Amino acid sequence: MLKHFHIHNCAIGYFPRRSSAYARTMQHYDSSVAFLGTWGRFQLMVFFLLCSTILPNGTGTFSLVFITDTPQHRCRIPEANLTPEWRVAAAPLEVIDGEPQPSRCRRYRSDVLRKLSAGGLMPGRDVNLSSLEQEDCADGWAYSTDVYMSTVVSEVWPQTSSVCQFNRPDRLHAAADGRAVMGGTEILTGNARVAYSSTGVCLGFAFGYMTLPLLAFFLRSWKMLLLALALPGFFFLPLWWIIPESPMWLLSQGRVTEAEAIVRKAAKMNRVVAPERIFGDSELHANEERPVERYTVLDLMRKRSIAMTTVLLCWVWFALSICYYGLSLNTSQLHADPYISCFLSAVMEVPAYMSCSLVIRYLPRRLAVVAIFLIVALALFSIQLVPPSILGLAVALEMLGKFAATAGTSLLFAFTAELYPTGLRNSASGICLMVSRTGSCIAPFLIQMNVYFKYLPYITLGTLAMLSVLATLFLPESFGFPLPETLQQIQKRKRVTCSYIRGPKNSKSMKVVENQL
């Protein structure tokens, strides 16, 4: 299970069934080290140490919610030769969210203000402010320190001239360390492996995410917050010497002596007696198998059915990534307190991961993905119908969308892995992830569309979700099918297809049918 290959966003609630060679290798390894038990001191040490390495991924992925947020601001007014009354009234008022606030991008001409102030005139009483000439913010901006001491926007962007057009830089997402995830699944066995690859990794990311608003609350300067997020990385350096190499990998390289040494050390830690010979000949030859069909990435487009599946999956990944990152990065705009909003967003990850593990076990993949996109779309479309006085309901609807998008990201990893044969599985997953990354890069810009219309980002995300419902309907079903080993096996999968059939007078009509490819 990869952790969002990023991000996030825990990416999958379980490992899909492996190829027969890998499965036999794992089976032989598990039986050989069964004397260690499942939850001894060695396994507990590896479990918690590896879970701890996931925590920084949760804090780092969405740290830019606070680091690049835009505090309340107005045009900076030179204080020289201006009375306090004129400094307060120097910026025209504009209505934002139903409340009059000083303009963020315009002010009254400073030379005119100085003359009026020197003449002893009072704004609003002696001078009609609406008749005064206005100008751009020639001296930069003054930022409120009520929520943040400083952000990248308040310290860096005042030097630029594009704040009013696009007042937040592009947000990049952090990538989770997939190597730690895969290593943990090879070192641990049985229930410990399942617990780590699903619950451990997912909750490790979620708990790390939850600590982010706590750190940001006490460290209101963006530089101090970055430092606090970076320093824990140094504490993980000793794990290079503490966490052992994967014995299974060592066996695959023929390094049996080293693998046995690690297992014997684990036996000593668990206070059990290791057999005289731990690994036999079966482990050394577990990877020897009959020749298998070889594929390249070009095979994803050679056959029409595979090409259509790949294109549709890429779209679904793209749309879901935009929805997930768009909703996650928008948390600072949900509530007057961005720390509460971010914490709620992080908390939603926990039930989303837990529910996804149940969905993967019991529901058909297409039905589950369609339901997820419908929930996202309906929740986002409904936000614009909520009166401003019921802010809590709007927040709840956005959290519902975030819940569904998080669960959907986990589910898509399983769905994608089940649709392709062994030789194409990694290539297909990699292409889908690459396309989804473009979605996460676009998400910050999409959020900025609220400067044109407050609900435009929600309408856009909801529309993408509805289009993805249609795309998902044309994907083949994988639930209940064995994991394919060849392209020919995929042709037995059922999908909804559109075929043109000839009607009366040679006219063409479209009919949706359920076909076996």
Output the CA torsion 481→483→488→490 (10° steps).
50
Q: Is 89 left (phi over 0), alpha (psi -120 to 50) or beta?
A: alpha
> Other CB atoms closer than 10 Å to residue 73's CB: what's the count?
20
Q: Please tell me the distance from the alpha carbon of residue 501 to that of residue 302, in angstroms, as a whole number.
A: 25
Q: Write down the pLDDT at residue 313.
A: 93
Higher-confidence residue of 22 and 225: namely 225
Q: Which of 151-160, 167-176, 447-456 has the lowest mean pLDDT?
A: 167-176
Give the pTM: 0.76
Q: Write down the pLDDT at residue 97.
A: 66
| 3-state SS record for 116-135 | HHHCCCCECCCECHHHCCEE
* Residue % of the chain over a pLDDT of 70: 78
Q: Which of 88, 69, 251, 244 is nearest to 169 (CA)?
A: 69
pLDDT at 505 over 50: no
Cβ–Cβ < 8 Å for 200, 133: no
Q: Write down the pLDDT at residue 225.
A: 93
* Mean pLDDT, range 197-213, rounded to an integer: 85
Q: Write down the pLDDT at residue 400.
A: 94
Q: Write down the pLDDT at residue 285.
A: 53
> Other CB atoms closer than 10 Å to residue 15's CB: what's the count?
19
pLDDT digits (tens, 9 = 90+) for 491-503: 556 655 554 334 4
* Mean pLDDT, range 21-26, rounded to an integer: 54
pLDDT digits (tens, 9 = 90+) for 287-297: 454 445 566 77
DSSP string, 410-477: HHHHHHHHHHS-HHHHHHHHHHHHHHHHHHHHHHHHHHGGGGT-TTHHHHHHHHHHHHHHHHHHTSPP
Q: Which of 429, 320, 478 is nearest to 5 (CA)?
A: 429
Q: Write down the pLDDT at residue 512.
A: 41
pLDDT digits (tens, 9 = 90+) for 234-248: 888 898 888 888 887
Q: Write down the pLDDT at residue 212.
A: 93
Which amino acid makes up residue 73?
A: H
Output the CA torsion 254→258→263→268 (10° steps).
160
Higher-confidence residue of 282 and 101: namely 101
Which helix (H) or strand (E) segment holds residue 139: the answer is none
pLDDT digits (tens, 9 = 90+) for 324-379: 999 988 887 776 688 988 999 999 999 998 888 888 888 898 999 999 999 999 99
pLDDT at 269 over 80: yes
pLDDT at 3 over 50: no
Q: Please tell me the distance from the alpha carbon of residue 448 to that of residue 330, in angstroms, as a whole number.
A: 10
Pairing label, strands 508-516, 99-102: unpaired
Residue 455, exposed/middle/buried by CB under 10 A (0-12, 13-18, 19+)? middle
DSSP string, 40-63: SHHHHHHHHHHHHHHHHHHHHHTT
Q: 110-113: long-range contacts (C-beta < 8 A, 24 or more apart)?
A: 110/77, 110/78, 110/135, 110/138, 113/82, 113/86
Query: Which phi and psi (to 5°) does residue 467 adopt?
Result: -65, -35
- Enter the DSSP assignment of 102: E
Q: Is 190 left (phi over 0), alpha (psi -120 to 50) or beta?
A: left
349-362 helix and 391-419 helix, angle to the nearest 10 degrees:
40
* Mean pLDDT, range 36-53, rounded to an integer: 89
Q: Write down the pLDDT at residue 64.
A: 82
Higher-confidence residue of 323 and 159: namely 323
Q: Which of 141-145, 196-200, 201-205, 349-353 has the lowest mean pLDDT?
A: 196-200
Cβ–Cβ < 8 Å for 469, 373: yes
Alpha-helix runs per DSSP H in 231-348: 232-235, 239-242, 247-252, 256-270, 281-284, 299-302, 304-329, 338-347
If you search the block for the tokens 């949760």, which residue do you land on?
58
Average pLDDT score, the chain:
78
> Other CB atoms closer than 10 Å to residue 479's CB: what's the count?
16
* Mean pLDDT, range 51-57, rounded to an integer: 87
Q: Write down the pLDDT at residue 507.
A: 41
Q: Which of 7-21, 70-84, 200-214, 266-280 has the lowest mean pLDDT?
A: 7-21
Q: Would you give the distance in Å from CA 17 to the centre of its chain?
A: 24
Query: Which residues have CB under 8 Å from 367's CB, separation 6+?
Result: none
Q: Which of 350, 419, 457, 332 is nearest to 8 (CA)?
A: 350
Q: Write down the pLDDT at residue 309.
A: 86
Cβ–Cβ < 8 Å for 202, 352: no
Q: Write down the pLDDT at residue 379.
A: 94
Q: Please tell me the distance from the alpha carbon of residue 413 to that of residue 418, in angstroms, as a whole number.
A: 9
Indicate the pLDDT class of residue 413, thresholds 50, 70 and 90: confident
Cβ–Cβ < 8 Å for 107, 89: no
Give the up-direction half-sphere exposure of residue 385: CA atoms within 13 A in the CB hemisphere. Answer: 6
Q: Please tell me the distance from the alpha carbon of residue 309 to that of residue 300, in angstroms, as a whole number.
A: 9
Indicate the pLDDT class of residue 514, thresholds 50, 70 and 90: very low
* Mean pLDDT, range 99-123, rounded to an integer: 83
Q: Write down the pLDDT at residue 26.
A: 58
pLDDT at 508 over 70: no
422-447 helix and 391-419 helix, angle to the nearest 10 degrees:
160
Indicate the pLDDT class of residue 178, thresholds 50, 70 and 90: low
